[in-house]
Amino acid sequence: MGGWRDMSAEALEDQYSPSRWSPRLDRDTIIDAHLAVTAAGTERARASAQTSLHVPYGKGDGEKLDIYFPTDHSGTFPVLVYIHGGYWQCLSKDESGFAAPPLVSQGVAVVAVGYDTAPRGHMDTMVLQVRRSLAFLVEQYPEIREVAQRNSPMRHVAPAVPAACEVLVVVAQHDSPEFRRQSQEYSQALRAAGWSVSLLDLAGVDHFDVIEKLSENSYILTQVILNMISRA
């Protein structure tokens, strides 16, 4: 079976650079465009939702998170934890609240987690920080449900347990072939371990607008997330 082990360093760099695969914009402008879209969406979300911003979950300067509360949060509520990407080098929680409006309007809280990106943060540190943020949320809001991701999910596929959560793996049509292969392989590994897994292959989107569109009420992924939460 092929994969990254068969690639040259140059080919591997291409596969892991989403800006090289989008048909919408060239590689020199798509990242700036993505930052502009997510930053503007986050600004709108902060203006329209009730929030608790820059909440410390640890002692480090980068260990803060933003909470976008649902319109009615007097009782229990589900939560979507958003852990931003950025090739471990860029982006932050401050551009990660753009998906909140369609969810908070339906009673779902959105939490954008900050962590120390490279070079300040090592991958092991990033994983520990994300785990720390989830432990903080569970302690502060014991009524939510939480799901922790490890830094290499394929290496940590455990057998499903009773009442295990449903897993949704999403990949964009214009993700790189390697990203698409890994999504398929991860889905298969989870399914083989007994998990309930859905693989959603979204047409007409790339690595960037596949999440940018989460700010839209009618977007298929927004609706799938809300549907999964309603069944939980």
Domain chopping of the chain, boundaries: 19-231
If one compares 159 and 155, the residue with the highest pLDDT of the two is 159
- Rounded to 5°, angle at Cα 175 from 122 and 87: 15
Query: Does the pLDDT at position 134 exceed 80?
Result: yes
**Strand order across the 50-56 sheet:** 50-56, 64-69, 109-113, 79-83
Query: Does the pLDDT at position 1 exceed 50?
Result: no
Q: What's at 100, amino acid-wise?
A: A
| pLDDT confidence bin for 186, thresholds 50/70/90 | very high
Q: What's at 145, amino acid-wise?
A: R
CA dihedral for 109, 114, 115, 118, sign (positive or negative): positive
pTM: 0.79
| pLDDT confidence bin for 28, thresholds 50/70/90 | confident
**Cβ atoms of residues 111 and 69 within 8 Å:** no
| pLDDT confidence bin for 149, thresholds 50/70/90 | very low
Distance from C-alpha of 140 to C-alpha of 144, rounded to nearest angstrom: 10
Query: Does the pLDDT at position 74 exceed 80?
Result: no
The topology under which CATH files domain 19-231 is: Rossmann fold (3.40.50)
Distance from C-alpha of 230 to C-alpha of 225, rounded to nearest angstrom: 9
Whose CA is closest to 42, among 93, 106, 113, 116? 93
Q: What DSSP character marks residue 157?
A: -
Distance from C-alpha of 6 to C-alpha of 11, rounded to nearest angstrom: 10
Residue 113 three-state SS: strand
